[in-house]
Structure 1
Amino acid sequence: MTARRLADLRTALAGLDPMPGELVRERAEVPARFGVSARYAKWAGTPAPPPTGPGPAVLFERVAPESGAPARAVLIGLYGTRRRAAALLGTTPGLLPQRIVDAVGSPVAPVRGRGGREPVRVPLAPDLTALPVPVLTDEDAGPYLTLGSVLATDPDTGVRNLSVHRMCVQGPDRLSLWMVPGRDLEAAHQAARRRGENLPVAIHLGLGPAVLLSSCCPASLVPGGVDELGVAGALGGAPVELTDCRTVAAECIAHAEYVIEGELLADTAPENPRGPYATPEFLGYRGRAHPALPTVRVTGITAREGAILQTVSGPGHEQSVLLGFGMEAAVLARLRELDAPVKGVHCHTAGGGQLMVVLQWRAKRSAADDEVVRKAAESVLEEFRMAKLAVSVDEDVDIESDADLWWAMTTRLQADRDVAVLSDRPGFPLDPSQSTAYSPHLSADGRTAKAHFDCTVPHALRARFHRPRFTEPPGQGS
């Protein structure tokens, strides 16, 4: 794929059009409330419960907002399979994590718009209710921007941050925004508050694959001071183009489908004034609403002609794919730092792309490598708070195949010697089992027992576990 395709959503979609089954275009008008999620369920499972499964990208060409505003296009499911997500970046699932690691190590700085070549942006009224923001379930607090990438600059350090956040439409010009504590956007917000200022932000809907994937990378991979836009430039093969917002002193990405301009305020508001729940979470359970979240005052909206609003289903396969690739890159980079003999990493979508880590190890050279593998796998559980289960397998196991993983678990593991449990470790509260109500062995909610399943063959017994290979007849090999 061309560099421009990697930087731009609609040209990425155009690349899918000739591929059978990869992109579905739904031309019938559907309502933003429940219409997108109910129709998407035809192709990719049900929205909730259970979580959606692999499926095509679906472009709804006419989604009608509840306000009665004209119908607009909505895209869901673009990253609905690992294979397609990697292909959008010109690679395969097995190679993409290393591509991300390389991009972090050699970023390509963004550039200002190049002499009018960037797409024309049309100013819209600063009215969120005129946009086709989906409501997925009847328990949602309201319409949610589930794939909004927030670009902001820390006023103290001058470093940009691009990150995806859950945002609920609270009114025509108001959004509530949930930030993971301790991350860069929260630091920039606090820096602005210390100055007595609001933080200017640009919220992007509909970004190219390289930019969106870079915005989903964990802080352990892209530390403070590293510009995610530089990572995106390296990953996409061309610098990201920036331009100025119209109503706030902030930059925005020129090729975004929508840019919502605004200020992150000191004011807070309940995420759901009407009930205890927010919107389904990526692990497949309903999420509890936060009692007080920072709010964004919207000052302007711009859009490309025929703009496409991109979204994901909360408890969805797609969101887990996006989170998984960044986590894989972070684990791979850390194991390489330890000089561990890792060959590949797969953060399985069953764990939301975070909680279940499959580790593929190179062939063991001696009996000492039995312990090397175990200690390295346990170090992943210790160093990555989100990781709850680690599964180690050999080179001959296809880590993208659930059947192969279960085969290895069944035939290469004895529970009394190959399962290690790490008790009462820091965990992830959105997993409902990580609570004292579930396990009295946990010292607090949000802590968990972690486990390593060592499904690698002991070096001394490797000859007993040889897998036969099919051979082509002479003269018929490929």
Structure 2
Amino acid sequence: MTRRGLADLRTALAGLDPLPGELVRVREEVPARYGVGARYARWAGTPAPPPTGPGPAVLFERVVPGGGGAARSVLIGLYGSRRRAAGLLGLTPGAMAHRLLDAVASPVAPTRVPAGRDRPRDLLAPDLTALPVPVLTDEDAGPYLTLGAVLATDPDTGVRNLSVHRMCVQGPDRLTIWMVPGRDLEAAHRAARRRGGNLPVAIHLGLGPALMLASCCPASLVPAGVDELAVAGALGGAPVELTECRTVDAECVAHAEYVIEGELTADLVPENPDGPAATPEFLGYQGRAHPALPTVRVTGITARDGAILQTVSGPGHEQSVLLGFGMEAAVLGRLRRAGAPVEAVHCPTAGGGQLMVVVQWRAKRSSADDRLVREAAVSVLEEFRMAKLVVSVDEDVDPESDADLWWAMTTRLQADRDLAVLPDREGFPLDPTQSTAYSAALSADGRTAKAHFDCTVPYAQRARFRRPRFTEPAAEPETVAPPPVRISAGPSPHAPRR
């Protein structure tokens, strides 16, 4: 794939259309309630429940909204494989972390679209029930925006933030929003409340790949004061174009398929008044509803002609791929700044792209590197709250191959000397083992034991662990073959007679 998809979602899809097996179009009518999720589940990939496996992006062209009305398009699975997600930017998966680090170091500021040059957009009624927002399971609290990128400006600092959050449709013009504590959007919301007002927001559904990948970068990668839109501009090779919202005092991305305009208020309502479940989460389990969440009051919706609503299935490769690239870049940057001899970092989708980190180390130069690898790996567990497991491997192990990782763990690890456990560290409560109900050794819910699996070969024993190298046979010199010798043995009994 070439570097298409930098401008908008439709350019990305146009680049996939001619490639076999990359984009499936479903033209029959499908209900937003259960239909999209159930059909895509076979392609979602782990941690979706089996049988499943990574598959194509799927564009459902006629999805009927839960509230009735005209069928609209829904896209799911665009980032369902690391190869395709990176390819949308003209990169390989292994190059993504390096490109993200470069983008953070050299951001490209967004620009404002001049008046009169805006892309045509329709102003729709502020009615979320008219949109084809999927409901995945019969336990869900309702329709969820799972890939809504929220753009807001902190009124105290003036810094923009673009980030993705779980949002449940609670009515025609109401959304609940779960902001993970400590994130920039929460800080901007609190700043607005201190000033006695609501926070204007623009929620984007259907953005170009550079923007989506930038919006999923962790705070450990993008420092405070750095605009994610500027990171996206550097990642995509061109400034992001902004325009004014129609119904609130806020900016929005000009090329977005849908923009839901509104205000993040102080009103708190239960995410699911009727039960404990929310919607499936990226670690593969049914999410639990929050008893009280802030709400977004929708003031207007704008859309391009024939707009495509982009979504993800909670459990599956796609969300983990989006989260994993940013986590890889953050860990790679941290280790490089510390002078560690790291070659590559990979965050498998089985760990949600964040809880499991595979670090590939350069060839050891002395026995001192044995200790350096272990100390650096432990530092990742200590400094990255989400990281639960770190697996260290040598240069001759492919960090993106599950088979190679299991081979290394089987033949290059002795648990009594190569496994380090860090008890009772700050963790991530969506992992159901990170609770006092699971382990009495934990001091509180959301804490966890962490572990480093050192599958690197000790420097002094490296000669015992050599993998075979298969040699290509030497090319034989070209010779000119003599003309074939024809031997006549008389006429064939089957030859035609003259």
TM-score range, shorter chain: over 0.9
Distance 2:52 2:154 in 1: 36
SS of the equivalent of 2:238 reads coil
Residue in 1 aligned with 2:368? 368
Residue in 1 aligned with 2:98? 98
CA contact (8 A) 2:110 2:233 kept: yes
Residue in 2 aligned with 1:377? 377
CA contact (8 A) 1:37 1:47 kept: no
CA contact (8 A) 1:151 1:202 kept: yes
Question: Offset at 1:41?
Answer: 2.3
What is the identity percentage for the equivalent residue pairs of Structure 1 and Structure 2?
83
| Poorly superposed stretches of 4+, deviation over 6 Å | 1-4
Residue in 2 aligned with 1:318? 318
- In the alignment, does 2:406 pair up with 1:406? yes
Residue in 1 aligned with 2:44? 44
Which of 284-293 and 134-143 deviates more? 284-293
Residue in 2 aligned with 1:356? 356
SS of the equivalent of 1:299 reads strand
Residue in 1 aligned with 2:190? 190
CA contact (8 A) 2:364 2:459 kept: yes
Q: For each residue in 1:100-132, what CA deviation from the matched residue of structure 2 results, as whole angstroms up to 9, or x when unmatched?
A: 011000000000115655532111111100000
Question: Offset at 1:43?
Answer: 3.2
What are the residue-to-residue correspondences of 1:426-437 with 2, within 5 Å?
426-437=426-437
Larger radius of gyration: 2
Residue in 2 aligned with 1:459? 459
Residue in 2 aligned with 1:294? 294
Pair 1:46–1:453, CA change in 2 (3 A) = closer
Question: Offset at 1:470?
Answer: 2.0
SS of the equivalent of 2:364 reads coil
Q: Structure 2: which amino acid aligns with 1:284?
A: G
Residue in 2 aligned with 1:474? 474
Question: Offset at 1:55?
Answer: 1.3
Q: Structure 2: which amino acid aligns with 1:298?
A: V
Question: Offset at 1:345?
Answer: 0.3
CA contact (8 A) 2:45 2:317 kept: no
Residue in 1 aligned with 2:282? 282
Distance 2:201 2:271 in 1: 19
Question: Offset at 1:283?
Answer: 0.5
CA contact (8 A) 1:174 1:296 kept: yes
What are the residue-to-residue correspondences of 1:383-422 with 2, within 5 Å?
383-422=383-422
TM-score scaled by length of structure 2:
0.93
What are the residue-to-residue correspondences of 1:9-408 with 2, within 5 Å?
9-44=9-44, 49=49, 53-114=53-114, 118-408=118-408
CA contact (8 A) 2:57 2:79 kept: yes
Question: Offset at 1:66?
Answer: 1.8
What residue ranges of structure 2 are gaps of 5+ in the alignment?
A: 477-498
Distance 1:331 1:249 in 2: 37
Distance 2:100 2:374 in 1: 26
Q: For each residue in 1:14-68, what CA deviation from the matched residue of structure 2 results, as whole angstroms up to 9, or x when unmatched?
A: 1111111111100011000000011112433599545964111000000001221
Distance 2:256 2:334 in 1: 32
SS of the equivalent of 1:95 reads helix
Distance 1:185 1:470 in 2: 54
CA contact (8 A) 2:284 2:315 kept: yes
CA contact (8 A) 1:360 1:392 kept: yes
Question: Offset at 1:147?
Answer: 0.2
SS of the equivalent of 1:94 reads helix
- In the alignment, does 2:445 pair up with 1:445? yes
Distance 1:282 1:389 in 2: 17
Residue in 1 aligned with 2:423? 423
Distance 1:237 1:275 in 2: 46
SS of the equivalent of 2:83 reads helix
CA contact (8 A) 1:38 1:47 kept: no
CA contact (8 A) 1:111 1:239 kept: yes
Distance 1:265 1:44 in 2: 34
Question: Offset at 1:190?
Answer: 0.7
Q: Structure 1: which amino acid aligns with 2:175?
A: L
Q: For each residue in 1:137-192, what CA deviation from the matched residue of structure 2 results, as whole angstroms up to 9, or x when unmatched?
A: 00100000000000000111111000000000000000001101111111111111
SS of the equivalent of 2:36 reads helix
TM-score scaled by length of structure 1:
0.97
What residue ranges of structure 1 are gaps of 5+ in the alignment?
A: none
Distance 2:239 2:162 in 1: 15
Q: Structure 2: which amino acid aligns with 1:186?
A: E
CA contact (8 A) 1:121 1:303 kept: yes
Q: Structure 2: which amino acid aligns with 1:345?
A: V
Distance 1:214 1:51 in 2: 31
Distance 2:381 2:292 in 1: 32
SS of the equivalent of 2:146 reads strand
SS of the equivalent of 2:148 reads strand
Pair 1:400–1:156, CA change in 2 (3 A) = same
SS of the equivalent of 2:322 reads helix
CA contact (8 A) 2:2 2:89 kept: no
CA contact (8 A) 1:214 1:232 kept: yes
CA contact (8 A) 1:38 1:46 kept: no
Which of 306-315 and 48-57 deviates more? 48-57
Distance 1:133 1:47 in 2: 22
Question: Offset at 1:465?
Answer: 1.1
Distance 1:43 1:338 in 2: 40
